[in-house]
Amino acid sequence: MKISLIDIGSNLTHDSFASDRDAVMARAFDAGVRRQVVTGTDGASSNRAAALAAAHPAVLSSTAGIHPHHAQSFDASLRARLSELLRRPQVVAVGECGLDYYRNFSPPEAQRAAFVAQLELAAAAGKPVFLHQREAHADFLAILKDFRGLISGGVAHCFTGGRSELEDYLALDLHIGVTGWVSDERRGQALREAVPHIPGGRLMLETDAPYLLPRDLSPRPKSRRNEPGFLGHIAAAVAHLRGETVEAVAASTTQNAIRFFGLNA
Ligand SMILES: [Zn+2]
């Protein structure tokens, strides 16, 4: 049986795909990735992601949002642009948005303001949020709690936390996005312990390509560029940790993504 997967976080508009994007998309499709949700991280990339998804409606959807690194750029005109993008059918979620206090490329105060504004946009659009959080768990949770009743859903994208962070997210009925981080025996230990405890109805898979090439992928591409076509490798790692077949993980994560993003199956 050929598995069928959905990559809920693919940065397909990234420059590293500029010269061979069609080939990357074809390889992904051949590897069973039937749909990718292309991540928007700022105004320009959200526009590009929406245009790319509109050009390939059978295999691509997109998100529109401002990554916390770019929170400082959030203003009324960006808000209007996101709101316009969110009216398009191929734009299925707000994000990525959230808080990242690891590098603080934007001041925390600006990050919190942009996050709140995007949660308001999600509530108004009736679309879920694609969430990014790094070293900001308490503030992130507090803000989300205020909005949880107003938004249709949220996915903790590139979840790397352990059991207690997982429990906090599940208490807010969030979905959990797992990347190739799960293959990292050094840095991914907490995640590897948490993966078996993610309820089957809350788990989704993502490559975060071109980032986060799975460490144990073989052969490793010389470019070290991750591709959506490697999603099956992540599905296999997750299946192994959960004691499930890869077919079962593919089926449940695909159903979850279809339901969560309201995709045309
Ligand atoms: Zn992220």
State the distance from the centre of ligand 1 to the C-alpha of 131, rounded, in angstroms: 7
Average the pLDDT over 196-204 and give the result: 98
User: CA 258 to CA 31: how far, in whole Å?
Assistant: 19
State the distance from the centre of ligand 1 to the C-alpha of 210, rounded, in angstroms: 12
State the distance from the centre of ligand 1 to the C-alpha of 203, rounded, in angstroms: 17
- HSE-up (13 A, CA, CB side) for residue 194: 23
State the distance from the centre of ligand 1 to the C-alpha of 261, rounded, in angstroms: 18
- Write out pLDDT tens, residues 65-82: 999 999 999 999 999 999
SS3 per-residue string spanning 62-74:
EEECCCHHHHHHC
- What local confidence, expressed as pLDDT, does residue 2 receive? 78
Residue type at 264 in one-letter notation: N
User: CA 250 to CA 265: how far, in whole Å?
Assistant: 14
Say if residue 113's pLDDT is above 70. Answer: yes
Q: Please identify every residue whose CB atom is under 5 Å from ligand 1, which is an ion.
A: 96, 132
Residue 265's pLDDT band, with cuts at 50, 70 and 90, is low
User: CA 109 to CA 13: how far, in whole Å?
Assistant: 28
- Write out pLDDT tens, residues 33-47: 999 999 999 999 999
State the distance from the centre of ligand 1 to the C-alpha of 80, rounded, in angstroms: 23
Residue 1's pLDDT band, with cuts at 50, 70 and 90, is low
State the distance from the centre of ligand 1 to the C-alpha of 142, rounded, in angstroms: 19
Average the pLDDT over 135-142 and give the result: 97
Average the pLDDT over 226-230 and give the result: 98
DSSP-derived 3-state class of residue 96: strand
- What local confidence, expressed as pLDDT, does residue 233 receive? 97
State the distance from the centre of ligand 1 to the C-alpha of 134, rounded, in angstroms: 9
The percentage of residues in the chain with a pLDDT greater than 90, rounded to a whole number, is 95
State the distance from the centre of ligand 1 to the C-alpha of 1, rounded, in angstroms: 32
- What local confidence, expressed as pLDDT, does residue 153 receive? 98
User: CA 57 to CA 43: how far, in whole Å?
Assistant: 21
State the distance from the centre of ligand 1 to the C-alpha of 196, rounded, in angstroms: 22
Residue type at 94 in one-letter notation: V
Element (H, E) at 175: strand 175-178
Residue 264's pLDDT band, with cuts at 50, 70 and 90, is confident
State the distance from the centre of ligand 1 to the C-alpha of 222, rounded, in angstroms: 24
State the distance from the centre of ligand 1 to the C-alpha of 157, rounded, in angstroms: 6
State the distance from the centre of ligand 1 to the C-alpha of 215, rounded, in angstroms: 18
State the distance from the centre of ligand 1 to the C-alpha of 32, rounded, in angstroms: 24
User: CA 109 to CA 100: how far, in whole Å?
Assistant: 11
- What local confidence, expressed as pLDDT, does residue 28 receive? 98
State the distance from the centre of ligand 1 to the C-alpha of 132, rounded, in angstroms: 5
> What's the Cα-to-Cα distance from 121 to each of 51, 71, 188, 225, rounded to whole Å?
20, 15, 33, 33
